[in-house]
Structure formats: C-alpha cells, structure tokens
Amino acid sequence: MDRRRSQSRLRHLHRHRTTRGRQLHRPAVASQSLGRAPNGNFVLTGIEGTISAPTLKTPVKITFTRAEADYAQKGYDVKLLLDNNPKNGWAIDGNDPKKRVERNAMFIADKAVHVPAGATLTVRLLHQSTFARHNVGRFRLSTTDAEPALASIDGTGGPPAAVLAVMKTPTENRTPQQRSELEKYYRASVDSPLRDADYALAAAKAELEKYERIIPSVMVMKEGPVRDAFILKRGEYDKPGDKVSMVTPAVLPPMPENAPDNRLGLAQWIVSPENPLTARVWVNRAWEKFFGYGLSKSTENLGTQSEYPVHPELFDWLATEFIRCGWDMKAMQKLIVMSATYRQSSKLTPALLEKDPENRLLARGPRFRLAGEVVRDQALALAGLLVPKIGGPSVKPYMPDGVWDDTSKYGDLRGYKADTGEGLYRRSFYTIWKRTAAPPTMLLFDAPTREICTVKRSRTNTPLQALSLLNEVTFVEAARGLAQQMMQHGGTTPEQRIAYGYQRATSRTIEPTALKQLTTGLKQRITEFQSKPAEATALISQGATKADAALPPAELAAYTTTAAVLLNLDRVITRD
C-alpha cells in the first residue's frame, strides 16, 4: 500500500451516495494506535472516488461535498479534507493513548450516482500532509445508497432531519405528506428487496426513455379535408341532390355525445355501451366456438332476419357482462369454459336426442367435429412433431404437386414447393393461403376459401375426410411419430403400447373389446410387413423426418397403421 495514498475497490449494484470509513486498531503498530506514524496519529488530507464499468466509456467521478466523523482533533476537522488541500486534513489525536480507539467517518457525495451491474467503485485516501508517515493504518470502507443523515449515531448514519422531525410527530397528527415522506425513507433505507426492485425499474425506465428519444417521429395517418357528400338523384353521379352529413342511419342508435365526425367517432359508436349489437355479435360467435352453435344460430347475421336466441336472458347478460369487463375477450372465454353448462357431460340419451337433437337447450355438454386446422395440429402434437414457435412469416406445409399451377399462369405463384425443416410442422395458423387454391385438406374439413369473409363455417362428416386422415402425407408422418411414441414409451407388450397410444390420443382408457380388436389387427400387420419389407420401408419413409433406426421397420410400419386408425377415431377428431 502506498504510504501517501490508499486504495480499495468495492462491488456495487445500484447507486452510490455515501462512503463510510472506519479506522481500526493495527496490531503491527507498536503503539496499537490507528496511524502509521511513530506517535500513532494520522492526517487524511483528501478523498477521491470513481466508478468504472465495461458499459461506461470513461470512469464517473464522485464528488464528495460533505463529511462527518465521530471525533476530530482540534484544528483537524474532517470537513477540511474535502478540498484535497495538503495543508489541511483530518486527524484523531492518535498520540494520546487515552484516545486510541476505533473511529468512524462518513463522506457524502453531492448526489446519488448510478452504478451499472458489474461496476467497480475505486476510493483513494490521500495522505499528503507535511508530517511524515502520518498515514492511516488499518481501515475498512463501506458504501450505501441511503439518503445521508445529519449526525453520526454510534458510528452509523441516522435519519435525515426532515424524517427525524416526522418521527417525533405523534402518529395521529401526521399529515398525508409526512406519512408519504416517512414511507419513502423506509422504502429507500430499510426495505432492501423493494429498494432493489425500485432501482431496477428506474434504470429500465431510464433506458426506455433514452431509446424513445432517438426514435424518429413519422406521420402515419392524418385526416384529410372532408369532402361534401350528396344524395345522388337516380344514382347518377352528375346529378347531386340534398347534402348529407356523416351520421348513422336513423334505424340505428345515434352517435355518442361529443363524438367527432370521423373514424374515431365511428369506433366510439361501435363500442358504446348503448350500442346493442357489437357485444351481442362477439358473444354469439364466442358461444358458437365452444358449443358448436351460437345462442342465435345465425351468427353471420344478427339483423331483422336472424334466428331469435333460444336463451335471450343469457344472451343479454353475457353481452352486458362483456361490456362491464372492458371488452376483455380472454375474461369472457374463461367465464364460458368454467361455467357448469360447458362442463356438463356430452352423453346423449334417447330422450334428449328426441327432444333436443342439436343441444340448443344446453341440457348436455357440446359435441362436434373439430375444425380442420385443429385436426392437423392435434395430429402433429400427438406425434411430437408440432413446432410451438410463435410469430414469423407464413410457412408452406405439404400440399399436392401443382396445386397452384391451374390458377396461376406465370410468376412465383406457380410450382408450389413445400418448406423444409420446422416450416412443415408449424401450426396451421401460419400456413400460406392462396385464395384461389386453398390447402385441399383444409377444404375437405369445411375451411372457407377466404375469397370472401366467412363468419360461420359449415360442419360436415364425409368419407373423403377419413381418406385424407389415412393417406395424406402429414397424417401418415404423424401416425409414424405416434407409433414411435407408443413403442418407446408405451411398454413392452402390444397391449400396453396400444393402450398408451389410445390414452394419448383420446385422454381415455381403452375398452377391452377395442383393445382386443386393435391388438389382433396389429399382429396380423406385423406378420404381413415382415413378409413384405419393401412396403414397410416405403410406409415409414413418408415425410421429411427420418424413422427411428433402432426400431424394427416391419414392427414400426404395423404400429404406424394402428396409430393411423387411432388418429381417425371419432373420439379423436370430435370435441366430446
């Protein structure tokens, strides 16, 4: 250690305000005092501090403007070291044996300095007095981000004067401002976890504000001058009639008061609590999503020709609840799926079938075939192939060769080529869609072509759907993936593996009769594929993923056909 200068490096995480120095007895000094001088005294003439970090271009200097100590020698007050003048300094009467006790001092910066994560705080103690060897012996430095105190109390900092005054005021006499001041001091000085969180939040906000300041402002949209509009006589554009203003038709509710006559006003009108239509339309579509039918069956039309709702009071309540929840779609969906009505069993009795075949009275749980997109995504998930990644560009899954060629004569809309890698196994939501040539499998499951806006889908069950589930490359590859899951995780016997696959696909325990039928068919196909290895290899080679080489090809092919049967079950493709 330099006899004229001492240095200590500390690690800190948030901000720096106060440095505390503690002078200790030094056994190596014969006088057992605090200084290195023969008489046991020291003179500290200055203190300097800097903060450096990999994220800082240059070190940040700390300016100490205040100092306090629990003792100072006459003429050598601790405040004298703040100007770093060699002629002044802090001394502690170390030459007096009766005063050779540990001393404490606090050095307070003019303001709190932010300390980045991983930064180093360097403190230099200067000993540049004219007295030789008057250096501090042993010392300990500590730092804090707490607000500075007016006085030293038992070697530690006490509360600021303003806080001390509030603490002396009886609780019942404290004003809201005083209570706020006291809470602020507690949060900053005592509650360490909360203080750490506050500092992290403040640093994040500062970074965000800094980033937002450098973002250039760009005008996205501006209302143009409003042009006059007229009723055209006989619809002829060159024969204007009466001038009209922007307002809703008389048969509809009026615009809200003080709403502007523009698109913003129209938006306010659409979500106005007085508008009887918007909330009902959304609620009816949400109900159809979970129950198969809306409360009014004509979800695409709630006008004068729509079907009257079967439960009008429920319909009105859901609409008003949707508005009351602040148009929170997630909350409304949670409300529906957690209701006793939705959680009913879908078991159908002969009496219910005769009285309410479509379950419009909601006497049982909903039961209907899943949408085409869900059928595909479910098969990929059961096979362990579905890529759950969110976002990104559209993807091109498997589709028949030349699917775009008949509707496109030139350009990049011809010669459809499927993606490789994860693009084949993304959710159907991300599938690229050409309106004049939609994915054929989706069309088989009643997906709209998207040439026009379609609110309500039809729902059919046809032999072509079963044919697609058994032969389309996506489902064949998914069946092989499910077969591998059955063989790797389902046990050692055919019965155990089939039971595992059935439960994985349906979330149910397989019945003994079904287990016997599937097991018998599996054993027959194993024998058949063992005699025709080329056919087994061709089957398990479908798709871009490779079959597990550790599994016997004939056995894997047989399990693949069994898995295809499972994926084709009514219990798998039906919401039951």
pLDDT tier for residue 164 given thresholds of 50, 70 and 90? confident
Per-residue pLDDT for 49 more than 50?
Answer: yes
More confident residue, 155 or 334: 334
CA atoms of 59 and 49, how far apart (whole Å): 10
C-alpha span between 318 and 280 (Å, rounded): 8
pLDDT above 90 (res 155): no
Q: Token digits for 520?
A: 């018998």
- Mean of all residue pLDDT scores within the chain: 86
User: How far, in Å, CA of 195 to CA of 185, rounded?
Assistant: 10
The DSSP call for residue 144 is E
pLDDT category of residue 130 using cuts at 50, 70 and 90:
confident
Nearest-CA neighbor of 275 among 328, 310, 320? 320
- In contact, 507 and 569? CB cutoff 8 Å: no
Which residues contact residue 125 at a Cβ distance below 8 angstroms, ignoring those fewer than 6 apart?
5, 6, 7, 21, 44, 46, 47, 136, 139
DSSP H helical ranges for 72-191: 161-168, 176-189
Compute the average pLDDT of residues 294-317: 91
Q: Are 576 and 496 in contact (CB under 8 A)?
A: no
Neighbours of 283 (CB within 10 A): 25
Residues contacting residue 8 through CB under 8 Å, at least 6 positions apart: 122, 123, 141
pLDDT, residue 6, reads 43
- Residue 258: the pLDDT is 86
DSSP element (H, E) containing 243: strand 240-244
3-state helix vs strand vs coil in the chain, percent to 5: 40, 15, 45
pLDDT for res 157 = 53
> What is residue 350's DSSP assignment?
H
CA of 469: how far to CAs of 70, 216, 328, 419, in Å? 86, 52, 37, 21
Amino acid in position 235: G
Q: Would you state the pLDDT for residue 374?
A: 95
Residues 443-482: tens digit of each pLDDT: 999 999 888 888 888 899 999 999 999 999 999 999 999 9
The 3-state DSSP class for residue 242 equals strand
| pLDDT (average), residues 48-69 | 87
pLDDT reported for residue 1: 38
pLDDT given at position 13: 45
pLDDT band at 7 (very low <50, low <70, confident <90, very high): very low
Q: What is the mean pLDDT of residues 292-313?
A: 90
316 vs 408 pLDDT, higher one: 316
Say what the pLDDT of residue 488 is: 95
E strand map for 2-150: 5-12, 15-24, 46-52, 60-62, 64-69, 103-114, 119-126, 138-144
Using CA atoms, how far apart are residues 102 and 119, in angstroms rounded to an integer?
A: 30
In the chain, count of helices (H) and strands (E)? 17, 14
Residue 24 pairs in a beta bridge with 138
Q: Which of 175-179, 323-327, 482-486 has the lowest mean pLDDT?
A: 175-179
* Whole-angstrom distance, CA of residue 316 vs CA of residue 506: 36
Q: Band the pLDDT of 87: cuts 50, 70, 90.
A: confident
Rounded CA-CA distance 346/355 in Å is 15
pLDDT in tens, 10-35: 444 455 656 666 655 554 444 556 78
**Residue 5, pLDDT score:** 43
pLDDT band at 386 (very low <50, low <70, confident <90, very high): very high
* Percent of the chain clearing pLDDT 70 (strictly above): 90
pLDDT for 530 equals 95
Residue 56 pLDDT > 60: yes
Res 340 pLDDT > 60: yes
